[in-house]
Structure 1
């Protein structure tokens, strides 16, 4: 009798294993109908000829499997992730397989999405405004595609968004002032687009990284835009047309570490003492501007500054001796200015720990065999002209 009961129990246990949907190749429908409809529309909006046989999208076969069914041996092998109960799509992350097409507005039906990433493909057209319905989105990555049009003002609805990367596209228009509403945003990268206008009146308060390189932004770098950004560590605004004075307030941002403002039209930079500022500056890039005056001595006092570039500006006078005494400085680019006198001996010594360039200035005693003295200095006639015909030694 006991053996018979054990055999019945064994059969029941086996039936649970056999008929558990997660142990079948093709399980019953698990994913919400609205999510399946959205995924079908997403795939249909991509040119079939751009879907390679080895790609994620090639494995999306809605007639053979449910997107959230397990195991994923032959269908939906990548590109989607599902909630714990396998009913909702939570991540849509395409592989960089050269997909070409538009981003369907129906992607907004995937209301449980936390990650949307279609980077490094060939998507084109405007970013649909309906995308703002994805209120749980934490990361939106559309980098390196061909999206055009303006940045939808409705992005202000992304209250949970922490990372926004739409760099290397063809976005145009100005940055909406509504960006201040992105209260959770930590990383913003809109570099290498065709954006115009000035910085927003206010930037999101919780930013750690701000990258707007390679656009056509103009105006001054206003204190108001950065007011309250106590956590900001990285600022990359190079290759724009920002002009005017960069005030002390900028370097007083308490968490600032890396600054890249190269290739703009800045004419003046005010540097506070590191005791007033956070003192955590690691790298400063101010090359290819129109900065006039003397090379700022104060930079040498920042205890963590390892890289400084003010190349190809309009600096005059001598190279501060303090630069050669800095214990942290390892890269120094002052080439392409109108600096005079003899460079600090420690900078051009064969055993110098500082790399970079002091070339294309008006220096004396900068030997051609010294790495730091390349390229050669400016002709004497140009130097005299820069100093009104009276070149000081």
Structure 2
């Protein structure tokens, strides 16, 4: 019995001696091993980070050596032990999946983007409570997005874009109170836009190229938003009346949806909006702001491929910073306002000129303003193709190669062409 007792005592002594020599916490060593075990060995190429991970030695004690060249970072968190605080794998084409048990409790950054990983996000991600940045972009992850991510209240950046995720955006994401950037574009996400109005720090949101449907409510968004893109979805209905609540918004892209009705005047006197893209929708009417856009900060407007009708909005030539205007493929008629020509060539003091003025695919008629006829190559990008213009000689730069609608098409739409 005494011999057996001393053997057990000796075993415990050896264990604690080895533990004292270990710089990396055993839980984190196991976490790194689980991560590597989930990767397809055939996808681990020579020279890649994972190829160098050799667990016969201590990871944090040999980081940046030939045994653990790259892929993670260690910090001294508990006296005597280092903890893994960052995993940033190289873009080496790794395939495989994430381990079901993710045991790296001090992890702050997890970046496995630009690889070929698949499968779903494990629910054990809820254990990564110190995570500040999560990037799984440009892989092949599938299935619904786990709601466990919603418990990561320290998360500031979340990149799940360019995968194959399905289902809806978890309602629990409204608990990510420190999130400032969320990218989910290029997936198969469906359902309606969730309520994210508790994300008071969210400034960038990209939900483009998904299958989102329903109405668009600004009340579901944080008023801190600066850039918002929900292009190429199935959103419908009219543009929200209370858009001015997003008072810090600078970039808005709702193109390639099913919106209809009027484009509200608030967009043209918004205090901070700089880029507006509403192309490829079914808008029919454009409201004129009372101040004629004189206070507008807009630099670029794209309203192409809608059903807007009436005269061209002359007030847009008064917008002081507007330099790109695309109104192609609508149903505008009438003559080209002289103000447009002035803004192309001789803008007023302290106002930007039209660097791009795209008016093709409408039903404009009458003579072309003389200032535009004098436009030289390189002095401005103006397109007047596919209209009902009275005279557009090939000898003029902007008319070279231009084709207009047939007289029959023009008569069907509007009055006789003068």
For Structure 1 versus Structure 2, the TM-score category normalised by the shorter chain is 0.7 to 0.9
Deviation for aligned residue 1:302: 4.1
Deviation for aligned residue 1:148: 1.0
Q: Which is worse superposed, 363-372 or 260-269?
A: 363-372
- Out of 69, 77, 94, the position equivalent to 1:77 is 69
1:333 to 2:358 alignment? yes
Alpha-carbon displacement from aligned partner over 1:337-358 (angstroms, at most 9, x marks no partner): 4444455555562267543534
Moved beyond 6 Å, runs of 4+:
none
Map 1:87-236 onto structure 2 (within 5 A): 87-107=82-102, 109-203=103-197, 204-226=199-221, 228-229=222-223, 231-236=224-229
SS at match of 1:34: helix
Number of residue equivalences: 361
Deviation for aligned residue 1:371: 4.5
Q: Which is worse superposed, 79-88 or 276-285?
A: 276-285
- Out of 14, 34, 37, the position equivalent to 2:27 is 34
- Out of 252, 256, 261, the position equivalent to 1:263 is 256
> 1:273/1:35 Cα in 2 relative to 1: closer, same or farther (>3 Å)?
closer
Q: Which is worse superposed, 205-214 or 307-316?
A: 307-316
Contact 1:143 1:169 in 2 (8 A): yes
Deviation for aligned residue 1:288: 3.7
For the aligned residue pairs, the C-alpha RMSD in angstroms reads 2.9
Q: Which is worse superposed, 185-194 or 315-324?
A: 315-324
SS at match of 2:166: strand
SS at match of 1:179: helix
Alpha-carbon displacement from aligned partner over 1:284-308 (angstroms, at most 9, x marks no partner): 4444445555554554444333334
Deviation for aligned residue 1:41: 0.8
TM-score (norm 1): 0.81
TM-score (norm 2): 0.76
- Unaligned 5+ segments in structure 2 are 1-19, 273-295
1:386 to 2:404 alignment? no
In the other structure, the counterpart of 1:304 is: 321
Rounded Cα–Cα distance in structure 2 between residues aligned with 1:152 and 1:347: 57
Alpha-carbon displacement from aligned partner over 1:220-246 (angstroms, at most 9, x marks no partner): 2222223x41x3221222212222322
